[in-house]
Structure 1
């Protein structure tokens, strides 16, 4: 039984789990380490802040007892020792998301952005780790409550007994207070003595300043001269240019059944819906009507989908449900480096993985016309350049009927 929240956080996030999370999120291991080590203290501080609100202690008390019943360690065991992957990641993301949003409230987005900035990870990765850290923290609180038969007051006292250790564990450069919308961290209060000393020092400074000014104006009968820094009036012209359009910003795509998807303007979903909605767009039986996925990613040299792929795959399922006559086929591609047979095998495995996830997310089987791996065939970029090879490592869907 961990004696503190920091101990519980450290015990859960083993090296094996950190490596697994890095692969699942498609992030560098060193960045994931940094994000994990920041997410714990950030959530612990947010819990303290939450308990300062009128309903906060009861909210944390209830959430922690709920978390104990949600089998955190079972999920983590499956993630580390089993196949893990997208299914377990999705479950942890959903449960953790509920917890960290309940703790952070309106400060959810600022904290996600701060972890993302601090650790140089994607916002989705930061959100996942904050959610998992919240799940870990609440589970630890709940277990401590049951083990020690604590009531609400006892739980709150135990949490605040860790305040100094929590503050000390915040990594340098992580702006937790700012992300929480606070001028100072929870429990940090100016003392009467400090305020009194500040006032005395201020008065003394004013007296000294008055004396200096009196001396200057009394003894000098000419205007004061200024050093070069004060006399330097050189300025730089500022060019007011419009920022380039944000091609990753959320964009609503409305479907015929009046549901709306959060997608990207000009992205896969946007173009696919436009094609399916336009009666003048015909099926090309010779070359096919292909639409590349823009947000489907895999772990390196693996057919394991990354967690960030979920939103686009769910959107595709939503589109198929809105266009029941549509039928698609999945295609997988690689660049031309390495063994051609291995590339073909990998592209097929990845295409099969996408098809399986679409089925798992509710796509009708009669709308899915299989999956095909093409290996390094049909490149769309120059395999002689890194950017071109990156373009060729892609997934796409072909509209077979509409």
Structure 2
């Protein structure tokens, strides 16, 4: 029996990596897992379809010694070898693959693109390691990839097909039609409709006379279509209602940022920031385009400044109720001075906003949930807030940062006995304007 490479690669894409990727990309774990489920067979299929390509074989051979498996999240995003390989595998269909997986899994296009790099790194790394461990030369690797053509045909998840990926003739030999939702186009020029009738032991049921009411399908088919449309709308709403979680400020777990409203750390009044729908979009900063989310931190801050709310605020007390959560600023486990990959992008956006509004001043706040030792929670959240302040200072906007403070679990609302996902809303790094 042929080796199933997908089973081999899945060992590198377990729950721990899914959780870390969700934290880093600011997505739900279910969305990350769903995206990986669609990307993995597509990548393996692409490699199998190019099993005799010298560039593909070189990439797999060299991957065994590159150390890519030891740092999938950090080492895949800007890896030139992976970028070149993906271009070779998918060509002009690459963006279509990214967009389709993003829509299928309910994640942003940026997250989908980053996951494609990650999955590709895990794939070539795993195959390269297997080849090295089993003394396979390039001919052996080519044969191993060819063997997958009879295995991967049933591995795309339900609801996703190569037809939906718009690959055209990319994989005629793979028979990716397991999801049963791909429309089968008849080969003849004029489609033929075959009509059958149910029978019983006493003979066939009589046909309904068209003059006396027509076929049952005249009312049953529209009803079925309405039911299907209702189910589709329900699933879309269910995706949008899936809440994301926040960056942890304790020493044991990292959860990605929450997009929900926060309680300000220096007042008892609850902030009223809106929930962000994470849709990739260029955020306009006075003519400059920032990569962000509609309703995300940058979008909210810019709108706040443009509205005149900051300029017209009489004093600092008038600003204490409006905090903005970082969407993508995450620290490594237990660390107060090491950011996860991808975090600096949003900090750079904050720098751009401050430079565009040089009169604006801000304050950084750090928060934790109610678990753990409170003294340690306060220290960790304070150290992280100060780290961000120092980072901004190095970028030339330190004079606009009036303070940084960690409040531990002082303003946490969720009980310590609640689930980790429920407590996530209490763990975050935030910023507010100040005077």
Q: Same fold (TM over 0.5)?
A: yes
Counterpart among 143, 163, 167 of residue 149 in structure 2: 163
User: How many residues of Structure 1 are paired with residues of Structure 2 in the alignment?
Assistant: 350
CA–CA distance in structure 1, aligned partners of residues 356 and 48 of structure 2 = 45
- Could you say if the C-alpha distance between residues 276 and 131 of structure 1 is closer, same or farther in structure 2, counting changes exceeding 3 Å? same
CA–CA distance in structure 2, aligned partners of residues 231 and 162 of structure 1 = 45
Whether the 8 Å CA contact 2:351–2:397 is kept in 1: the answer is no
Cα distance per residue 1:45-81 (max 9 Å; x no partner): 13345x39xxx935534654665564303425xxxxx
Shift of 1:6: 3.2
Match of 2:90 in 1: 104
Q: Which of the two has higher C-alpha Rg?
A: 1
Whether the 8 Å CA contact 1:320–1:363 is kept in 2: the answer is no
CA–CA distance in structure 2, aligned partners of residues 18 and 383 of structure 1 = 24
Match of 2:166 in 1: 181
Match of 2:405 in 1: 372
Q: How does 1:40-59 map to 2 (within 5 A)?
A: 40-49=40-49, 51=50, 57-59=53-55
Secondary structure in 2 aligned to 1:177?
A: coil
Cα distance per residue 1:302-336 (max 9 Å; x no partner): 67866675542231133345566766431124567
Match of 2:282 in 1: 252
Whether the 8 Å CA contact 2:150–2:174 is kept in 1: the answer is no
Shift of 1:104: 3.5
Q: How does 1:107-146 map to 2 (within 5 A)?
A: 107-112=93-98, 115=101, 125-139=111-125, 144=131
- Could you say if the C-alpha distance between residues 352 and 39 of structure 1 is closer, same or farther in structure 2, counting changes exceeding 3 Å? farther
CA–CA distance in structure 2, aligned partners of residues 390 and 355 of structure 1 = 23
Q: How does 1:56-75 map to 2 (within 5 A)?
A: 57-61=53-57, 63-64=59-60, 67=63, 70-75=66-71
CA–CA distance in structure 2, aligned partners of residues 21 and 267 of structure 1 = 19
Secondary structure in 1 aligned to 2:282?
A: strand
Secondary structure in 2 aligned to 1:173?
A: coil
Whether the 8 Å CA contact 1:64–1:139 is kept in 2: the answer is yes
- Structure 1 window deviating more from structure 2 (283-292 vs 262-271): it is 283-292
Report the TM-score when normalising by structure 2: 0.56
Secondary structure in 1 aligned to 2:347?
A: helix
Match of 2:292 in 1: 263
RMSD of equivalent CA atoms: 5.6
Whether the 8 Å CA contact 1:112–1:127 is kept in 2: the answer is yes
Counterpart among 359, 370, 382 of residue 348 in structure 1: 382
Match of 1:150 in 2: 138
Report the TM-score when normalising by structure 1: 0.60
Whether the 8 Å CA contact 1:32–1:119 is kept in 2: the answer is yes
Match of 1:85 in 2: none
Match of 1:95 in 2: 79
CA–CA distance in structure 1, aligned partners of residues 158 and 358 of structure 2 = 51
CA–CA distance in structure 2, aligned partners of residues 363 and 255 of structure 1 = 18
CA–CA distance in structure 2, aligned partners of residues 122 and 390 of structure 1 = 21
Whether the 8 Å CA contact 2:364–2:385 is kept in 1: the answer is yes
Shift of 1:99: 5.7
Match of 1:312 in 2: 346
- Could you say if the C-alpha distance between residues 251 and 3 of structure 1 is closer, same or farther in structure 2, counting changes exceeding 3 Å? closer
Secondary structure in 1 aligned to 2:6?
A: helix
Structure 2: gaps (5+ residues): 176-186, 198-206, 230-236, 241-275
Match of 1:229 in 2: 216
- Could you say if the C-alpha distance between residues 120 and 353 of structure 1 is closer, same or farther in structure 2, counting changes exceeding 3 Å? farther
Structure 1: gaps (5+ residues): 77-88, 190-197, 210-219
Secondary structure in 1 aligned to 2:77?
A: helix
Secondary structure in 1 aligned to 2:363?
A: strand
CA–CA distance in structure 1, aligned partners of residues 138 and 361 of structure 2 = 57
Cα distance per residue 1:125-154 (max 9 Å; x no partner): 544432222113334566649965537xx8
- Could you say if the C-alpha distance between residues 369 and 171 of structure 1 is closer, same or farther in structure 2, counting changes exceeding 3 Å? same
Shift of 1:287: 2.6
Shift of 1:350: 4.2
Match of 2:325 in 1: 293
Match of 1:194 in 2: none
CA–CA distance in structure 2, aligned partners of residues 390 and 13 of structure 1 = 23
